[in-house]
Amino acid sequence: EIVLTQSPGTLSLSPGERATLSCRASQSVSSNYLAWYQQKPGQAPRLLIYGASSRATGIPDRFSGSGSGTDFTLTISRLEPEDFAVYYCQQYGSSPPWTFGQGTKVEIK
């Protein structure tokens, strides 16, 4: 089973600042099948990034994903008020289980 470790656990930033979230896998993620989701309280997760770097439909270009192998990054170039939420990475490579990270909370400083 691939374990995903997200860091930091909590990121305290102000609107307009840049956010950099990390997701490290215990072994290489096949075909870079790595996704990022945003979740706000009481809501279902929302897909932001798939295939490590492709933005999902309707996602603003301030969200970008990068990385390969075992190290992946989600960058939010300039935080908007609606971006304060919890972010999860997920790997969905060839063999189940398709695991999630434990999440990074982006909170207002």
Partner 1 sequence: QITLKESGPTLVKPTQTLTLTCSFSGFSLSTSGVGVGWIRQPPGKALEWLVLIYWDDDKRYSPSLKSRLTITKDTSKNQVVLTMTNMDPVDTATYYCAHKLLGVRAFDYWGQGTLVTVSS
Q: 9: left (phi > 0), else alpha (psi -120 to 50), else beta?
A: alpha
- The HSE-up count of residue 76 (CA atoms within 13 Å, CB side) is 26
Residue with smaller CB distance to partner 1, 2 or 17: 2
Q: What does the per-residue mask of binding to partner 1 show for 18-57, with x meaning CB under 8 A?
A: -------------x-x-x-x-x----xxxx--xx--x-xx
What does residue 31 show for φ and ψ, rounded to 5 degrees? 55, 20
* Residues of this chain that bind partner 1 (CB under 8 A): 1, 31, 33, 35, 37, 39, 44-47, 50-51, 54, 56-57, 88, 90, 92, 96-103
